[in-house]
Structure 1
Amino acid sequence: MFSKSCNYAIKATIFIAQQSLQENKVSFVDIAKEIDSPTAFTAKILQILVKAGIIESVKGVNGGFYIPKRKIKKTFLVQIVDAIDGDSVFQGCGLGLSHCSEKHPCPVHDKFKSIRNQLAYMLKTTNLEELALGIKSGETFLKTL
């Protein structure tokens, strides 16, 4: 459903949020290691997230990536998806047809439309704080063992 870049961006942002709640900044190397992503690829994704205002970075010895605590609860998954993949997840045909529409639907149009609406709702209502706290409590995880 999401691009590989978007999957990594979501995982990276959740990890950064979790660390930020503990007042830690993290390096892109540590982020890449935590989310099992190539470091150069991770660095590019993080640049996009900084440019979009989702995460922040500080250079230097005590530097790294972080999210101000006040922003963690106000940052929703839809913002990350939009920064990386744009609105493509909310557009287009479930079968990839170029001319699928309400007037000329593909075989899965109506069912896919319902799923897409549910996905949009989840992305718009799920914030980083709840996801980061799930990891902290051990209820969820970012990395398979």
Structure 2
Amino acid sequence: MESLVGRALIGIRRMRYIVHQEVYSDRGPLELTFEGALPLVFDTAGNGQDLRVERGAWRDPFAEPLSQENRDWVAKAGKWQAFDVSAEWPFSALIGRPLSAVRAIAGPSAAPEIGGLVLTIGVDLLIEVGADELEVEVLTDSPARGPESSSN
């Protein structure tokens, strides 16, 4: 992450769980793209407590072509779907701004794993694992909108 300091954030995608064409949850993976770099995908690690960060765009495990069994499963249970949220408030407050700092948040275990990150991109972006879900919060302080905190 430190190699991205000074680079502007140019794209944000949020994975939202869709069931029967309705958003069921938006507490899924987050994808950030900084200028001149591969996207980074933030998600909950397999243990449900730590943060996992991977290079490269998020890949839909249920992308077409699907087997009939998988198609039936998606129709019944739903799936994660990527949405570009770059223009949505409060994410739009981050676009075009450079990453200026990265701070790790310790995980709940004694291991050296991390439970989250705070990325300073003009304002702070909190990415943290909570109760087996990825929680994302943009902490804004905009004169146009007033101080606010928004979870997404």
TM-score category, normalised to shorter length: under 0.3
Task: Considering fraction of residues, name the structure with more helix.
Answer: 1
TM-score, normalised to structure 1, is 0.22
Larger Rg: 1
